[in-house]
């Protein structure tokens, strides 16, 4: 196992915890948000800029890298780190989720996921072995198992079938991993919104003793109450000494509440995708700089923000003028939004270490909702872990 997980502080009220996850290419402080560089680059940022933001780990997508540059090139250059000149950690997904969500014609059998090649429409099969082989070629520090993904809102026997199949596929992935000494394979908990299935799956996955465990099959449009119930049920049933990864979660409120429920790792394309449409994330919510009211606004995106754009006081008016037309405002907004996410998690972490997480959560929500009419799902979820929003 090439991962050590050391919990350095626990919130005295909620299930939140701060830890250090030691990986082959340096330590990662958790809770952590991981930006997504789908095709081995984070939307116009250089690896140095990503480092300067304090990013210790980011995502690449196996499906995309498998198509381009392809496994052969990855093997030749010695993996994705060398390829993109990034010497910190990389996490890769299995490629399965991307196929099911991007390719409508994907079908799932015990062998794997069958899909039509986007190149020539010929049928292709992604097996657990093939996914791990690709991730071995990428050389990611954390790999995800291929899982049987069902849509979050699916009910009935298909959910249980997918859960058991995901467990069998984990065994095949573990067996296929050529580099368990340097590449950490994470299991993914399935079971839909059925809490009993989730508990069963947690036990099965924990028994396989992978370096970390993800909570999958969420953030697909389910009710937020249900999302919180599943996360909380899983963290109750997962080992204390392993990182817990909520896949595809990235809205600030979801991050803060999920940390309270005991999750450690998150990823989402939202902060960088929304940047390209002119949206900036701030502690008072997201603002769209294309809005006419910013034409004559000479103040920076967010006072006190430590990103390049705000430190240099580049005015909102500039973004209003140029966003959607030029690349520089897009890069600056990507820097800002990525900084916002990483800094949010750094603040969350510090508050846990100082045992002031409850105060932090209250300040965070009151900035976001000045009228203090908080969303019920957040109030209930936080109440469940002894945090009162007041």
Partner 1 sequence: MFTPKSCAWQTRAGILHINGTDITTPNFIVGTARLAIPHLTPDHANQPPLAAVYAEDTWDKGGLVSACLNRSTLPLSSPLLLGAVRNPEMRPLKNKPNTDSAIAISTSQGSQMASMKDVSEFMNKLNPDIVVIPYDFPAQSPNSSSVGKNRVVKMTSRSLKWAKELYNSRPKESAFVAVTLPPQLQTSEYLNEVNTLCNSYCFNDGCETMTRLAADSAAPDASKLRISMFNSGKLSDVINDIAAGIDLVNVPLTQYADKGYALTVSFKNPGADKGFLNLYDDEFIADTSLLHNSGFMKGYIHHLLEAREMTAHVILQLHNTEILKQLFNEIQESITEGTFSTQAEKFKQAYETL
Cα-based distances in Å from 261 to 15, 58, 197: 5, 23, 19
Min separation Cβ 302 and Zn ion, Å? 5
Q: Which does 298 bind (CB under 5 to 8 A by kind): partner 1, Zn ion, none?
A: partner 1
> Two tokens at 359?
């105060």
Residue 26 assigned as binding residue: no
Distances (CA, A) of 192 to 105, 114, 245: 22, 22, 16
384 binds, among partner 1, Zn ion, none (CB under 5 to 8 A by kind): none
Active site residue 236: no
For residues 81 and 60, is the Cβ–Cβ distance under 8 A? no
Q: H helices then E strands: how many in the chain?
A: 16, 16
* Structural contact between residues 39 and 68, judged by C-beta atoms closer than 8 angstroms: yes
Which listed residue (22, 76, 168, 175) binds partner 1 by CB under 8 A?
76
13 contact, one of Zn ion, partner 1, none, CB 5-8 Å limit per kind: none
Q: Is 305 marked within a binding site?
A: yes
Active-site residue (options: 52, 87, 93, 376): 93
Cα–Cα distance between 381 and 251 in angstroms, integer?
A: 16
Q: Is 267 an annotated catalytic residue?
A: yes
The whole-angstrom separation of Cα 15 and Cα 31 is: 12
94 labelled as ligand-binding?
yes
- Judge whether 263 and 17 are in contact, CB under 8 Å: no
Decide if residue 69 touches partner 1 (CB under 8 A): yes
Is there binding between residue 310 and Zn ion (CB under 5 A)? yes
Q: Are strands 244-246 and 212-215 parallel, antiparallel or unpaired?
A: parallel
196 binds, among Zn ion, partner 1, none (CB under 5 to 8 A by kind): none
Binding-site size for partner 1 (CB under 8 A) equals 47
CA distance 100 to 149: 8
Say if residue 75 carries a ligand binding annotation: no
Minimum CB–partner distance for residue 269 and partner 1 (Å): 14
201 annotated to a ligand binding site: no
Q: Which of 297, 343, 347, 355 binds partner 1 (CB under 8 A)?
A: 297
- Copy the structure tokens of residue 3: 């991962």
Site track for partner 1 across 38-57, x = CB under 8 A: -xxxxxxxx--x--x-----
Output the six-digit token pair for 46.
Answer: 């250089």
Judged by CB under 8 A, does residue 315 bind partner 1?
yes
Question: Which positions from 242 through 301 interact with Zn ion, judged by CB under 5 A?
Answer: 301
Q: What distances in angstroms separate CA 120 from CA 8, 51, 116, 126, 131, one per listed residue? A: 51, 38, 8, 16, 20
- Answer yes or no whether residue 307 interacts with Zn ion by CB under 5 A: yes
Residue 318's binding partner among partner 1, Zn ion, none (Cβ under 5 to 8 angstroms by kind) is: partner 1
Indicate if the alpha-carbon torsion angle 216, 219, 222, 227 is positive or negative. positive
State the pairing for strand pair 107-108/113-116.
antiparallel
Quote the CA–CA distance of 279 and 275 in Å, as a whole number: 5
Binding residues: 93-97, 147, 190, 217, 305, 307, 310, 336
**Contact positions vs partner 1 (CB under 8 A):** 39-46, 49, 52, 64, 68-69, 72-73, 76-77, 82-85, 295-298, 300, 308-309, 312-318, 320-322, 325-332, 335
Binding residues for Zn(2+): 305, 307, 310, 336
Just list the catalytic residues. Answer: 93, 267
**Contact positions vs Zn ion (CB under 5 A):** 301, 305, 307, 310, 336
């Amino acid at each position: 196992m090439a991962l050590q997980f050391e919990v350095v502080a626990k919130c005295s009220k909620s299930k939140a915890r701060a830890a250090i996850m030691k990986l082959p290419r340096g330590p990662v402080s958790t809770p952590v948000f991981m930006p997504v560089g789908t095709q081995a680059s984070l939307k116009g940022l250089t690896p140095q800029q990503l480092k300067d933001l304090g990013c210790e780990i980011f995502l690449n997508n196996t499906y995309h890298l498998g198509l381009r540059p392809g496994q052969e090139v990855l093997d030749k250059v010695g993996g994705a780190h060398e390829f993109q000149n990034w010497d910190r950690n990389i996490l890769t997904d299995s490629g399965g989720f991307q196929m099911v969500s991007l390719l409508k014609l994907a079908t799932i059998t015990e062998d794997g996921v069958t899909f039509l090649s986007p190149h020539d429409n010929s049928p292709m099969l992604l097996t657990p072995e093939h996914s791990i082989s690709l991730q071995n070629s990428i050389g990611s520090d954390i790999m995800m198992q291929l899982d049987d993904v069902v849509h979050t809102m699916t009910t009935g026997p298909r959910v249980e079938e997918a859960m058991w199949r995901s467990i069998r596929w984990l065994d095949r992935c573990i067996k296929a991993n050529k580099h368990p000494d340097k590449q950490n394979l994470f299991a993914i908990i399935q079971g839909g919104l059925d809490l009993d299935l989730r508990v069963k799956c947690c036990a099965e996955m924990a028994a396989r003793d992978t370096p970390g465990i993800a909570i999958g099959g969420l953030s697909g449009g389910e009710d937020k109450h249900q999302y919180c119930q599943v996360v909380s049920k899983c963290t109750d049933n997962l080992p204390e000494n392993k990182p817990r990864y909520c896949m595809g979660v990235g809205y600030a409120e979801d991050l803060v509440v999920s940390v309270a429920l005991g999750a450690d790792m998150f990823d989402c394309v939202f902060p960088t995708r929304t940047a390209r449409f002119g949206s900036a994330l701030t502690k008072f919510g997201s603002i769209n700089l294309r809005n006419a009211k910013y034409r004559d606004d000479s103040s920076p995106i967010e006072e006190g923000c430590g990103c390049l754009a705000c430190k240099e006081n580049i005015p909102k008016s500039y973004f209003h003028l140029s966003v959607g037309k030029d690349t520089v405002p897009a890069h600056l907004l990507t820097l800002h939004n990525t900084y916002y996410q990483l800094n949010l998690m750094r603040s969350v972490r510090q508050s846990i270490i100082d045992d002031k997480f409850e105060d932090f959560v209250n300040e965070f929500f009151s900035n976001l909702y000045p009228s203090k009419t908080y969303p019920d799902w957040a109030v209930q979820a936080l109440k469940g872990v002894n945090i009162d929003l007041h």
